[in-house]
Chain A
Amino acid sequence: MQRSKKIWFWLPYAISILCAILFIYAATSKLWDFQQFKVELGQSPVLTAYAEWVAWSVPLTEYALSVLLLIDTTRQKALFGFLGLMTMFTTYIVIVLNFSDYVPCSCGGVLENMGWTEHLVFNLFFVALAIIAILQLESRSVNKSNLS
């Protein structure tokens, strides 16, 4: 009982760190081969017209969110940000798989070896993690306010 409580206590932190690592990795791999990333975005059926600024804003947002995820006071807001961005990525994958004229040959930078469907499952997993972390943090602050 005590132990599971402890797990629940640390879970949001663990999840935040995991998410931060994911975003730092993702952003770095994009900027590493930025030209290639821009070309791939440009060939994407959804983003062609916006490739230029999406290419810059996505990795920068990812860095910013990872930093905020590691700071106690901003963690919850950052988790919402993370959830929002992950939702967008997931929606993008669903649209590309189902509604666009064609599926581009490779997905930009991040975890290149994953197929589109695996990517979808992976993303959904992180979406679920973020939701759990948010709810956990939230129930804690509710408990606190009840106590006081």
Chain B
Amino acid sequence: MTINTVYIKLMGTLCLGIGLVVIVFLTAEKAVHRNNAFTRRYPPHPLNRLYELNLGFNSYYVAGFEGDDFYLGNHTAPKHLLKINLVTKDTSHVKIGFQTKNLPFRNLRTALYPPYFFIMDGTSPFILRGEIGKWTAKLWVQNAGYFLKAVPIDSNKVYLSTVSTALNRTVLGLLKIKDKPQLELNPDLLTPQIDGIFDSDGTLFFDGGSNTLGYAYLYRNELLIMNTELNLIKRLKTIDTITTAQIHIASDSIDHISQLKAPPLVVNKTAAFYGDLALVHSPRLGKNEPAHMLQEASIIDVYNWRKETYEFSFYIHNTENGSVKKFHLYDKWLVALMGKTISVYQLNPAFFAPPSFKTK
């Protein structure tokens, strides 16, 4: 061996070492983004905690946003809303007047679609509507069909899920009001796996900026993205690997009542949009994640539904009053409702590009 060959060998070793790591780096970027390997990445500080507010009760749910105001409804006090100014942290109570008579109230839920607010009851069923600020609810639709969950997506349109009596399974639908109420169901969107009711359960979510509807299955790794006419745009797989709902159903053959007999494996707890981003609260650990984090925080996975990529994940830390029940992204904030408190975070625009600046 001469000195010359040893130099060649040295150079070879160096190049091989560098080359190998560079190749691994380039392929890893792809693998993390597109594979179903279920490995998460947590970049530092995609959002910063601003403050927490104690609400005093755990019966609040998110009703909506208007301007800088965040509204909470209350299950046990349906005629009452809590209004929180996200900038000044001022809270005020809103009392809703009902111009109705003889309506059976069973399960009222208030939701905002500015400039209107809607009070919906899917088991009676009826929907009341009124203007934000005036706070008087008038009967808007009655007996147009029962529904399980509903989200107003326009001043005269409601996105809902219901059990189709003809098919005996959960379907998605739209309730449109022109001269008279019209319920349009689309049975092709939800695909039954076990019983068609429990296995298809999920979260309805909506983005007003891009006019997109979403459906996140509770028990499988799938998201549906639709337009406001309920036409399917995309079926997305999350990074999770559960493709079939893992639930066990006990059904009574005499009175035809079905129940879940074992705790189900929840894949997508809730979901929300932020422009092109779809955010999913996942209660499942990925590879190489410390198990104690599930006790301390909620994991939110961020997807770009337009590009069909997994982007990153972040934690919303639990407060002493509980963990995330529901979260919403609005303007430059993320608001998480957890037990008796809400946590307000500021979004870092490097990770959450403001939707209004994006071209459609």
Considering only CB atoms, which chain A residue lies closest to B6 in the complex? A138
**B28→A91 contact, CB < 8 A:** no
| Chain A residues whose C-beta falls within 8 Å of the C-beta of B20 in the assembled complex | 88
**A138→B18 contact, CB < 8 A:** no
| Chain B residues whose C-beta falls within 8 Å of the C-beta of A99 in the assembled complex | 25
Chain B window 279-306, contacts with chain A (Cβ cutoff 8 Å), 1 for yes, 0 for no:
0000000011110000000000000000
User: Bound complex: CA of A88 vs CA of B17, how far in Å?
Assistant: 5
Q: Which of A45, A47, A51, A138 contacts B3 (CB 8 A)?
A: A138
| Chain A residues whose C-beta falls within 8 Å of the C-beta of B21 in the assembled complex | 46, 88, 91-92, 95
A46-B28, A48-B28, A102-B44 known; A85+B289 contact, CB < 8 A: no
User: Bound complex: CA of A83 vs CA of B10, how far in Å?
Assistant: 8
Interface-located stretch among B34-42, B189-197, B253-261: B34-42
Q: Is B9 an interface residue (CB 8 A)?
A: yes
**B24→A142 contact, CB < 8 A:** no
User: Bound complex: CA of A139 vs CA of B5, how far in Å?
Assistant: 12
Interface-located stretch among A2-10, A18-26, A35-43, A59-67: A35-43
Chain A window 98-132, contacts with chain B (Cβ cutoff 8 Å), 1 for yes, 0 for no:
01111001000000000000000000000000010
**A42→B288 contact, CB < 8 A:** yes
Q: Is A80 an interface residue (CB 8 A)?
A: yes
| Chain A residues whose C-beta falls within 8 Å of the C-beta of B1 in the assembled complex | 138, 141-142
Question: Using a Cβ–Cβ cut-off of 8 Å, how many residues does chain B contribute to the interface with A?
Answer: 32
| Chain A residues whose C-beta falls within 8 Å of the C-beta of B25 in the assembled complex | 46, 95, 99-100
| Chain B residues whose C-beta falls within 8 Å of the C-beta of A86 in the assembled complex | 17
**A85→B9 contact, CB < 8 A:** no
Q: Is the interface of B mostly helix, strand, loop or mixed?
A: helix
Q: Is B13 an interface residue (CB 8 A)?
A: yes
User: Bound complex: CA of A95 vs CA of B29, how far in Å?
Assistant: 12
Q: Which of B3, B13, B44 contacts A84 (CB 8 A)?
A: B13
User: Bound complex: CA of A113 vs CA of B16, how far in Å?
Assistant: 29
**A42→B39 contact, CB < 8 A:** yes
Band of interface residues on A = 35 or more
User: Bound complex: CA of A83 vs CA of B14, how far in Å?
Assistant: 7
| Chain B residues whose C-beta falls within 8 Å of the C-beta of A85 in the assembled complex | 17
| Chain A residues whose C-beta falls within 8 Å of the C-beta of B289 in the assembled complex | 39, 42
A100–chain B nearest beta-carbon distance, Å:
8
A50–chain B nearest beta-carbon distance, Å:
7
Q: Is A58 an interface residue (CB 8 A)?
A: no
| Chain A residues whose C-beta falls within 8 Å of the C-beta of B41 in the assembled complex | 43, 45, 48, 101
Q: Is B31 an interface residue (CB 8 A)?
A: yes
**Best-buried of A39, A101, A141 by chain B (most CB within 10 Å):** A101
**Best-buried of A85, A86, A88 by chain B (most CB within 10 Å):** A88
**B6→A48 contact, CB < 8 A:** no
Q: Which of A84, A101, A141 contacts B16 (CB 8 A)?
A: A84
User: Bound complex: CA of A148 vs CA of B319, how far in Å?
Assistant: 79
A42-B288, A48-B28 known; A80+B39 contact, CB < 8 A: no
Q: Is A14 an interface residue (CB 8 A)?
A: no
Q: Is A27 an interface residue (CB 8 A)?
A: no
Chain B window 342-359, contacts with chain A (Cβ cutoff 8 Å), 1 for yes, 0 for no:
000000000000000000
| Chain A residues whose C-beta falls within 8 Å of the C-beta of B56 in the assembled complex | none
A69–chain B nearest beta-carbon distance, Å:
15
A84-B13, A101-B43 known; A52+B18 contact, CB < 8 A: no
B353–chain A nearest beta-carbon distance, Å:
15
B145–chain A nearest beta-carbon distance, Å:
47
Ranked 8 nearest A-B pairs via Cβ: A42-B288, A87-B17, A49-B31, A91-B21, A102-B43, A138-B6, A88-B17, A84-B17
Which of B's residues lie within 8 Å of A, judged by CB? 1-3, 6, 9-10, 13-14, 16-18, 20-22, 24-25, 27-28, 31-32, 35, 37, 39, 41-44, 287-290, 312
6 other A-B residue contacts (CB within 8 Å) besides A100-B25, A101-B312 = A43-B42, A49-B35, A80-B9, A91-B21, A95-B22, A95-B25
